[in-house]
Each structure stands twice: as C-alpha cells, then as structure tokens.
Amino acid sequence: MKSQYLKTGIESINGRRDFLKLAGYGALGLIAGGYLPMFSPSAYGLTQQVSLNTTETVFKPDLDLTLVPQAEEVAILPGSPTRVWRYHATVNQGDSNRVVEIPESYLGPIINVRQGEKIRIRFKNDIPEKSIIHWHGLHVPAIMDGHPRYAVAQGRSYLYEFTVTNRAGTYWYHPHPHGRTGFQVYGGLAGLFLVSDEEELGAGLPENEFDIPLVIQDRTFDAHNQLVYMSRNRMARMTGFLGDRILVNGKPDFTLPVSTTAYRLRLLNGSNSRIYRLAWQDGRPLTIIATDGGLLEKPVQRQFAFLAPGERMELWADFSDNPVGYETGLISLPFDGAGTGRGRMMGTDAGLPLGAGFSVFKLKVSRKVNRSIELPQKLSEVTPVDLLNTAGLGHLREFYLTMGHMQWSINGRTFQMEDVTEDEIVKLGSKEIWEFNNTGGGMMRMMNMPHPIHLHGKQFRVVGRSGVRHDGYVDEGWKDTVLLMPGERVRILTEFSDYPGLFLYHCHNLEHEDMGMMRNYFVQK
Ligand code: C2O
Ligand code: CU
Ligand code: CU
C-alpha cells in the first residue's frame, strides 16, 4: 500500500475495475451503460488518433520539462507526514527559474511561460494507475489536451509539444484519466500554469513578491494525518467530495503576511466539488481584475463572488491604508448549497457542508513599505459582450444537466470514451452559442445541484444568464468554466477557429465528472 496515498484504498478496488471496463469501451461497456453511439467514431477518423504520442518532432522548445507524478510524504499537519501524490519537474532545457516548487506542499510546481513560447513536456507516469495530464484553459491541439483515452499506465510516457497561444492568465494542470480524476487530484496532483504576455506586462500590475498565487482546496485527514477521500456511499458521490479543512497552497490554517502596498492575488479553486462564496472579512469589496482566461478590460467590484471548482479569479488587494498589525482575511460566506437542504437529503458524510461559512485564509499586515501603486483603470483589450454580434448565429445548442438512475448526465447521456452524437459535432471555423440548462428536468427536483461547466480547448464568453437569479457571478472576461446554480440557464459564445478533433466538455465537480457527467464534442474539418 506504500504507493497508494490512501491508507485503506477505500473505493479503489471497485472504482478501478469500473474504470478499466469503461476504458475498454467495447460493446459490453456501451450496452451496460444503456447508450449506443449514434455514430461510429471511425466515421470521423477518431480511432487512428489513439496512439501514444512518444516521438519528438523537429519542434524546438523554449522550455523542455519532464513531469512525473510520484508517491511521497509531506508534512502538512503537526505529527506524522501525509502520504500524497505529487508532480515533480525537471528542466531539461530552458530557464530553470520558470519552474517554481511550492515547499512543503503536495501541489505540483508552478510553470511560468510566455505567450508564443514552444513547450515540450515529457509526462512519465509513476503512480500505480493510469494517468494523463490536461492543461486546463490552454488552447492546444486535441492530441495535446490530455483526453482520457491517452491515459498511460505506470512506467509509460506521453509527450506533449505545443505553442502557448493563450493570453496571459492563471491556468492550471491536473490529471484526466476517466473515472479517477477526482481521486488523483485529491491525492495532490495539480499545479499552476501561468502565462504572461506583452499586454499584461504593460498593464502596471504588482509583480514578483506582490503577485501571489493561492490555490484553494478542501481535504479531510484521519487521526494519523492521512487523507481520507469519500465513502462509497452513492448519495455522497452524487454531491461530490467535501473536506472539513480548507487548505491554501496545500497548507491548513494559512496566513498570508503582507506589506502596506497593493497585491495581485491569483485564486484558483482546485477543490473537487466545493464552491466558495468569497468576500473580505473586513467588508471591503472584492476588486476583481481577471477571470479564467486572463485580465478583464477593467476592474470590477463585488461584495462577494462565487468561485466554483476549476475557476480562477484574480484580485487587486491594497493594504497601503492599513497599519502594521492589521488583520483580515478571505472568507466564504454561507449560501444555500442546494436550494433544498440537500446536505440532509443526500446524507453527505462531510463535516463542512456545501454552503457553510468559514475562513479561507487569514491575512496580516506585517511590514511597512513606501510603495504606492495605482489600480489601472484599463487592464486589457476585451470586447464587451454587448458589442459581440451574436445575432444570426444559427441554431442554439442546448445541453440539459440532468439526473437519472442516481447518475448525473448531460442531455441524458454519460461519458463514453469516443462517443460523439450528432448534436456534439461542430464545424471548424464556426462561431456558436451553447446553452446549458440546470433547471432540473430530472425526476427528483429536490436533488438539483450546482454544476460548474467546463469546456476543453476553448475560452468562451458568457453572453446570457436566465432563470432563478443568484448574485455573485463574475461572468466578465474570457472563461473556460461557468457555474450554474439550480434553476439557471447560461449561454456561452465560442468560436471553433482552429484545432479539429475530439475535445471534452464536462461538469468540473470532479465526482460528477468521474461518474460520467462529461461528453466529447468533435470539431470537424
Ligand atoms: Cu480542469 Cu477536463 O478539466
Ligand atoms: Cu480543461
Ligand atoms: Cu455537476
């Protein structure tokens, strides 16, 4: 059991078997799921792409890394170290300062790149189950995107080579094997991938020690300081994993010491299923300067803001008016996590239910500096949504977030490795509006849940939200993940301008994703 981060292996026996069955995606698996593909994947040339990518090309990388997930022990709580899985990086070529380890954390190193750079990453799996890395938010060719069909066994490798075309922003990487993403991310496998560009460097934002990434996650530890995942209770899985301790950058009871000046705080919700409703403890408004796909056009202010799994949000936080010794912090305000008191209904085993209020991290002004920096009123070029011409875009694709047979699904379908239906095929070069609908067409209304919907391969714009009104969304800017509370519909606009092939869209509640609330879409040439 040494190589497993879990003491008991809990659901790993059964879960693993289910996964292997699915990964075979033979006729049996498809029929057992009750879904037959409307189109055979080979008709779209999908199958020949399934080959392990291991050969280097003539590609000349600016940065060449080896990235290896490994079992190890880290000191998280006082007493015994915690067994975790952690990404380790070695820089083979390029500037080694681009890869920054977070000491005493299970989190993977922060990878820093510039827009336009060529990156080669040699993924070598060293954990005792299949895995593959996905670059969340990055716009890369299908074969570089970490689709679960590319997952490799322990000892095997996968080679990534891509040019960074994204605008500056806080992106991240994590495993994506089907059925095991929640388990592997929970075990520690996640890291930040920060992109910078000219526009950002010219924006006048705090840099270096004043630019702080903060990865927010929740975990549960047993009496021996070991991570506890979730019980096999189907009800608990329907909710998703909820830990009873909040960790920031892999550390519990996190306190951030700051100086009397302005900071750029880059927040990532790296939790499996917990949604945060963030606010400052001292009542100052949140000043938001960026979302998933980078800087907003101009800063926006909110008293509080939701941050769902997978989402990023960057804050401008200025402490120049606060005395040394001043203390505040980021909190998560209570909210109705279900609309229906699901905490009780679902029999979750979490000590800290979804929608509970708590402190996320504390912040203490510990040093006086004379360094004043003004909040820029213009941050970047982002076309306002109301200026986007969305008329005449043809038919609307609708995706219903539904539940049936104790299983979350999208339009009544669950994930099958290469399954694509007609309404999941888009034309290369097309611009489309997709509507996600969480108004609960399912049989059991009382089990409606929030779902953060994520698209692989593309950043999109949120062009509409309707239904039950909730406050606290930051829909501005470029997004790759959008939260839908129960009763809501959201419309997104995206352009499939390049990169044909098979990409995923799914709920970023990782337990929902693992149970199949994920589908392929196919960009056809
Ligand atoms: Cu971070 Cu498929 O997702
Ligand atoms: Cu993604
Ligand atoms: Cu979901």
3-state secondary structure of 332: strand
Nearest CA to ligand 1 atom 3: 136
Nearest atom within ligand 1 for CA of residue 481: 1
Instruction: Collect the ranges in the chain with pLDDT lower than 70.
Output: 1-57, 232, 338-350, 441-447
DSSP-assigned beta bridge partners for residue 411: none
Tell me which residue of 491, 497, 466, 467 sits closest to 479, measured CA to CA. 491
Nearest atom within ligand 1 for CA of residue 504: 2
**pTM of the entire structure?**
0.89
3-state secondary structure of 225: coil
CA atoms within 13 A on the CB side of 283: 0
Nearest atom within ligand 1 for CA of residue 174: 1
Cβ–Cβ < 8 Å for 423, 520: no
For 55-156, strand residue ranges (E) read 63-74, 82-93, 99-100, 110-114, 118-124, 133-136
Residue 391: per-residue pLDDT: 74
Instruction: Take residue 393 and report the two structure tokens written for it.
Output: 């875009």
Nearest atom within ligand 1 for CA of residue 506: 2
What is the C-alpha to C-alpha distance for residues 205 and 249, in angstroms, rounded to an integer?
22
How many angstroms separate the alpha carbon of residue 150 from the centre of ligand 2?
15
Tell me which residue of 10, 2, 35, 62 sits closest to 349, measured CA to CA. 10
Ramachandran bin of 158, using left for φ above 0, alpha for ψ from -120 to 50, beta for the remaining angles: beta
Question: What is the phi/psi pair of residue 42, to 5°?
Answer: -65, -25
How many angstroms separate the alpha carbon of residue 225 from the centre of ligand 2?
31
What is the C-alpha to C-alpha distance for residues 58 and 54, in angstroms, rounded to an integer?
13
Indicate if ligand 1 lies below 6 Å from the C-beta of 491.
Answer: no
Cβ–Cβ < 8 Å for 148, 417: yes
Q: Residue 28 carries which DSSP code?
A: H
How many angstroms separate the alpha carbon of residue 135 from the centre of ligand 1?
8
DSSP-assigned beta bridge partners for residue 190: none
Cβ–Cβ < 8 Å for 161, 119: yes
What is the C-alpha to C-alpha distance for residues 23 and 27, in angstroms, rounded to an integer?
12
What is the residue whose two structure tokens read 């692989």? 456
| Range list of H helices, 213-366 | 234-239, 342-345
Residue 351: per-residue pLDDT: 80
Question: What is the phi/psi pair of residue 270, to 5°?
Answer: -100, 20
How many angstroms separate the alpha carbon of residue 184 from the centre of ligand 1?
13
